[in-house]
């Protein structure tokens, strides 16, 4: 008689990976009382709606990448910081385009 991998009185049977009283069904990846439903990504009372990536009371608005009080608000174009950034960006881009041209030449 072949050896059985399971004890005779085991609640698991060889062809069933789940206990008979398991809350998980083989064809259902979620628990019955799971906050996520198989056909719905979010609960009805969730503050996040499937078509809205932000909370209603979020300080970030979808069309505004910065907070109103963010220190990263754009400077005026003639501020010293803006001029320094523009100069650094021009140097970096110039170097990148120069390298790209030299690589593209046979």
Q: Which helix (H) or strand (E) holds 86?
A: helix 80-104
pLDDT in tens, 12-64: 555 555 555 555 545 544 555 555 545 444 455 555 445 544 455 555 545 55
Residue 79 is predicted with a pLDDT of 85
Model confidence, pTM: 0.29
Query: Contact at 8 Å (CB) between 33 and 39?
Result: no
Gap between the Cα atoms of 11 and 21, Å rounded: 9
Q: How confident is the model at residue 77 (pLDDT cuts 50, 70, 90)?
A: confident
Residue 10 is predicted with a pLDDT of 54
Domain boundaries, the chain: 77-101
Residue 82 is predicted with a pLDDT of 86
């Amino acid at each position: 008689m072949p050896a059985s991998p399971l004890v005779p009185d085991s609640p698991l049977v060889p062809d069933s990976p789940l206990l008979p009283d398991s809350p998980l069904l083989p064809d259902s990846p979620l628990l019955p009382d799971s906050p996520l439903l198989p056909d719905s990504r979010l609960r009805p009372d969730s503050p996040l709606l499937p078509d809205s990536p932000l909370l209603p009371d979020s300080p970030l608005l979808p069309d505004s990448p910065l907070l109103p009080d963010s220190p990263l608000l754009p400077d005026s174009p003639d501020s010293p910081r803006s001029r320094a950034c523009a100069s650094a960006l021009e140097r970096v881009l110039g170097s990148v385009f120069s390298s790209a041209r030299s690589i593209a030449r046979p």
